[in-house]
Structure 1
Amino acid sequence: MRNNNKATAAILTTSLLLAACGGGGGDDGGDDVGGTPPPVGSALNAGAGSPTGTEGSCSATTAGVNWDALMTEICPKLSDYNLFVDATDPTAGPTRGGVPYDLSTALFSDYTSKYRFIFVPEGETVSYNASEVLDFPVGTVITKTFALPVNTAMRDGEELVIETRLLIHRTDGWFALPYYWSSDSDATLAIAGKRLTGLTTINNQGQQIAFDYAVPKAADCSSCHSIVPDLAGSGDEREQIFLPIGPKARYLNNDHSYADGTVYNQLQYWSEGELLTGLPLNLQGVEQAPVFNDQVPVDALSANELNDAARAYLDINCAHCHRANLTLPADYAGPAGSSGVQLEYNRIYADSPGKFGVCKEPIAGGKDGYPYDVIPGNPDDSYLLFRMTTLDSRHKMPELARNTAHLEGTRLIRSWIDQLPSASCSPAP
C-alpha cells in the first residue's frame, strides 16, 4: 500500500503559502489559532505562472500551473498539469495559487479520505452564491484526491492513494477528467475508468470491510454533476448544465486548519484573500450546514441536531440528483427530480414531507416489503434506507460512488426516520 509522507507535504505547503503571501516567518498571524486574519491582497490566487515551452502542450515546461494544457488538452499524466509541488503527492503542497478546502458534510465514497484544492487564474475571483454552488470563473480547476486509510479512525496514518479527479472550467463549460494512481510516482488518465478488487479498511467500530472500488469513467461524471431541463410537455430542447457539487457556501462556512497553523473560516479566508467576492459582511446570515463525519456520535445528537445532520447528509449525498425547482434555474431539475423525492438542504420538511419520501410510493424501482420511500418511525420498512444499505445494483443509492454501505451515515438516517413526526401512511394498493 502507498504511504504518504504527510509531514514533508505539510512543510511544502507552509512554505508555499508564505511565499504566496510575500514573506517568510513575518507577522502574518499564522501562529494565532482562529485569531488574526490571513494577509489580504492577491495571496490566495497569486499567479501560477505561464508555460515557457510549447503552448497548449502537455509537455510544456511551466513556471507554475500549466494553464494552457488545462484549458485545451487531455493530458495522459496528472503531472503534466503541474498542479502539485511534489508531483508524487496530490494530498498536499499545491503549486502556487492552489487553495485547500474541505466540506463540513461530505459525500460518502467507500470510506476514502478526500483532499480538495481549488486553483483560480491570477486576477480572477469566485462569486458568492447563497444556495447553489459558488460561481467559479473560466479557468478554475478543482482537484479531489481519494485515498483509502488502513483504519478510518486514524485517517492521518497509512493510506492508499487511488485517484485524483479534475473538474476544469473551460470556455465551453465544465470538463471532468479522472486520473488513476497507477504507480507511486504519477497518476494516469482513466477515461474508461478502473476497478480495484479486494480493498479493505477498518471502520470506527473496528470492523474490517472488504469491497471493490470503481474509478468512474469520464462519461459517468455527468450523471451526478448535471441538472437537466424539465421537458414535460414543453418541447424544450435546452442542454443540460454541468456543475460542481460540493463547494457551496453552506459546506464551506466552517473552520479549516491551514498548513501554516492558521485555523480560520474558509469563506472569510477566501474573501479576505480577495479570492471570493460578494460574501455578506455578517457571516451569521450565511447558511451553515453542520459538521458530520464518521466520528460524530449519532446517539448524542439532540432532535434538532439530528434533523440538521440528516438533511445535510441527504443533500450532499442525494440532492445533486434528487432536486427540482427550489433554487435551480426555471424548469431545471436534477436527473431524479421527477421521482418526487427532492432532498435539498434548504427545502423545509414541514412544508412538504412527501418531498422527503414520507408516505410516498416509490416511482423508480420499488421492492416488495418497502411500500413507501419513508415511513416515519419505521426505518426498517422504508425504501430510502434500504437503498442506502443494499449493494444490489438495481436498488442501491447513490448508483455510483459506493460499493459498500456507509455504516455511520445509514445509522444517522435510521435515527432520523425513527424520530420523524408520526404520519399514517395509507395502505399501498
Structure 2
Amino acid sequence: MSLPRILLGLAGLLALGACTRAPAPVHFFAEGQPERLSDWNVLYVADGRLRLNAQVLPYDLDSALFTDYAHKLRTVWMPAGTPARYRQDGAIDFPVGTIISKTFYYPRGEGDTVLRSDDTGADADGGLTLGKVRLVETRLLVRRASGWIALPYVWNAGQTEARLMRTGELVPLTLAGADGRRQPLEYMVPDENQCAGCHGTDLTSRQIFPIGPRARHLNHDFAYAGGKANQLRHWQEVGYLGDLPAGELPRNVAWNDRAAPLEARARSYLDINCGHCHSPSGAARTSGMWLDAGTRDPLRLGRCKLPIAAGQGTGNRAWDIVPGAPDDSILTYRMQSVDPGVMMPELGRGLVHEEGVELIRQWIAAMPAQDCGA
C-alpha cells in the first residue's frame, strides 16, 4: 500500500475516533457562571445529535408546564455517592453538586417553521437528532452550597453551542399546526430574575427550588434505553434517590389522558402550571387562591371566591370560579389572555394554551351550578 493511502487511512481512523470517543466527565462549577453550556459537559453535540453524558439521567413529568408548545428534554446529574432524599410533597431534596437541565426545542416543519405539536419526548437513548428539531434554549438549575442558581443558555443558529444569556432573549419562530395554520411567536427566554420569580416557591425564604421533580410528577414509567421502568424506583436503583418508601406513592395523572377522570386531569394541570405560585407558601399565596395538589378547600380553589387585588385581570367578572359557568369565571378569562397585565401564568408563555383552556372550561362546566351571589 502506498504511503498516501496509509496516511489517508490513519486520518480516517483518527477522525472516527474523534467523533465516537467519550466526552470529558460532567463538570460541576461550585462558583461562577460559565459562558458556554458545553463547559458543564452535561449535554454535548456529536454526530448530528444532542447527547447525554455518562450518568446524566433523562426524566419526564406526568404533566408539563406549558411553554408555547415547546417540547422539553429534562435531565438530572448528581455526584457519585450522594443520592437525593425523598420528599412526600415538596421537591425532592437534591444534594449539593446536582445539575438539572431542561432543553426547550421544537420539531422542525417545512422551510423555517417549527411544529405546534404534543411533546413526544426524546429519542430512545435520551438524546435528540438535530436534523429533526430546532433547539432554542437550555436552562440549568445548579445546587451549590449556598443554594440553587438558575442559568439560561440560548442555542446558536448552527445548533452547535448554547451561550449564557443572563438578561434573557427573544427568539422569533413560526409555529405550523397540523391544520395548516401558521402562528408567529417571539419565544421568550427568561432572564435570571424571571427564573427566580417562578422557582421562588417559598416566599418566606426567598430561595429558589426545582418545581417539576416532585414525587407526584415523577411517579410513572419512563422509556429508558434498557426498557420501561418507574422513574422513582429507577432513580433508587441507580443510586440517585434514597429513603424511598415502599408501597403506594403520590401520583398525578397526565392532564391530557382522556381515560383519567376530568377532576384529576384539571387538578394536575393547575398543579404544574399554577400551583408553584398559588400555594400556601408561594409568591401568590396572598391571593387566597391555592391551586397546588394538596389544596382541597373549595373556597381556596377559587369556587365562589372574590378576587384579591386582581385589578384589570378580572375582566369585569366577579368570582374566580363560578361553578357550572366557565364564561363567568376569572380563571378562564386570565388563561385566555395574552395581555401581560391580565394573563396567567404571568411568565413563560406568549400564546394561549388552547387545549389547557378547554380542559379547565370543561372542569368548571361540569361542577354543579351554584349562584355565588346567593
TM tier, shorter chain?
0.7 to 0.9
Counterpart residue type for residue 228 of structure 2: V
Deviation at 1:210, TM superposition (A): 2.4
Selected match of 1:151 from 95, 112, 115? 115
- Output the CA distance in 2 between the equivalents of 1:318 and 1:147: 22
Counterpart residue type for residue 269 of structure 2: Y
Aligned-residue RMSD, C-alpha: 2.3
Deviation at 1:85, TM superposition (A): 4.0
2:69 equivalent to 1:111: yes
From the superposition, tell whether residues 201 and 106 of structure 1 become closer, same or farther in structure 2 (CA, over 3 Å). Answer: same
Selected match of 1:342 from 290, 311, 324? 290
Matches within 5 A, 1:381-396: 381-396=328-343
Question: In the alignment, which residue of structure 1 is the partner of 2:38?
Answer: 79
Which structure shows the higher strand fraction?
2
Deviation at 1:279, TM superposition (A): 1.2
- Output the CA distance in 1 between the equivalents of 2:119 and 2:73: 12
Deviation at 1:159, TM superposition (A): 2.7
2:270 equivalent to 1:314: yes
- Unaligned stretches of 5+ in structure 1? 1-14, 20-61, 231-238, 325-332
- Output the CA distance in 2 between the equivalents of 1:367 and 1:257: 43
Matches within 5 A, 1:166-315: 166-183=140-157, 184-197=159-172, 199-203=173-177, 207-229=181-203, 239-260=205-226, 262-282=227-247, 285-293=248-256, 296-297=257-258, 301=259, 305-315=261-271
Counterpart residue type for residue 259 of structure 1: A
Task: Look up the SS of the partner of 2:338 in the other structure.
Answer: coil
- Output the CA distance in 2 between the equivalents of 1:75 and 1:271: 31
Task: Look up the SS of the partner of 2:332 in the other structure.
Answer: helix
- Output the CA distance in 1 between the equivalents of 2:47 and 2:155: 9
From the superposition, tell whether residues 368 and 317 of structure 1 become closer, same or farther in structure 2 (CA, over 3 Å). Answer: closer
Q: Is the 8 A contact 1:120 1:141 kept in 2?
A: yes
Q: Is the 8 A contact 2:72 2:119 kept in 1?
A: no
Which shows bigger deviation, 112-121 or 373-382?
373-382
Selected match of 2:367 from 410, 420, 423? 420
- Output the CA distance in 2 between the equivalents of 1:272 and 1:135: 17
Counterpart residue type for residue 25 of structure 2: G
- Output the CA distance in 2 between the equivalents of 1:286 and 1:117: 22
Counterpart residue type for residue 111 of structure 1: Y
- Output the CA distance in 2 between the equivalents of 1:206 and 1:171: 50
Counterpart residue type for residue 141 of structure 1: I
Deviation at 1:399, TM superposition (A): 0.6
Deviation at 1:131, TM superposition (A): 0.9
Deviation at 1:228, TM superposition (A): 4.1
Deviation at 1:227, TM superposition (A): 3.2
Question: In the alignment, which residue of structure 2 is the partner of 1:12?
Answer: none
- Output the CA distance in 2 between the equivalents of 1:263 and 1:381: 44
Question: In the alignment, which residue of structure 1 is the partner of 2:317?
Answer: 370
- Output the CA distance in 1 between the equivalents of 2:223 and 2:72: 15
**Alignment deviations for residues 322-366 of structure 1 (CA, whole Å, 9 cap, x no partner):** 000xxxxxxxx1010110110111222xxx211111111221234
Counterpart residue type for residue 292 of structure 1: W
- Output the CA distance in 2 between the equivalents of 1:310 and 1:155: 18
Q: TM-score, normalised by structure 1?
A: 0.74
- Output the CA distance in 1 between the equivalents of 2:290 and 2:221: 29
Matches within 5 A, 1:1-150: 63-67=24-28, 70-86=29-45, 92-149=50-107, 150=114
- Output the CA distance in 1 between the equivalents of 2:141 and 2:57: 15
Counterpart residue type for residue 422 of structure 1: A
- Output the CA distance in 1 between the equivalents of 2:180 and 2:147: 44
Task: Look up the SS of the partner of 1:227 in the other structure.
Answer: coil
Selected match of 1:165 from 125, 130, 139? 139
Counterpart residue type for residue 193 of structure 1: G
From the superposition, tell whether residues 315 and 154 of structure 1 become closer, same or farther in structure 2 (CA, over 3 Å). Answer: closer
2:301 equivalent to 1:356: yes
Deviation at 1:389, TM superposition (A): 1.1
Q: Is the 8 A contact 2:203 2:283 kept in 1?
A: no
Task: Look up the SS of the partner of 2:196 in the other structure.
Answer: helix
- Unaligned stretches of 5+ in structure 2? 1-19, 108-113, 121-130
**Alignment deviations for residues 382-426 of structure 1 (CA, whole Å, 9 cap, x no partner):** 111111110011110111100001111111101001111332201
Deviation at 1:211, TM superposition (A): 1.9
Q: TM-score, normalised by structure 2?
A: 0.84
Q: Is the 8 A contact 1:88 1:186 kept in 2?
A: no
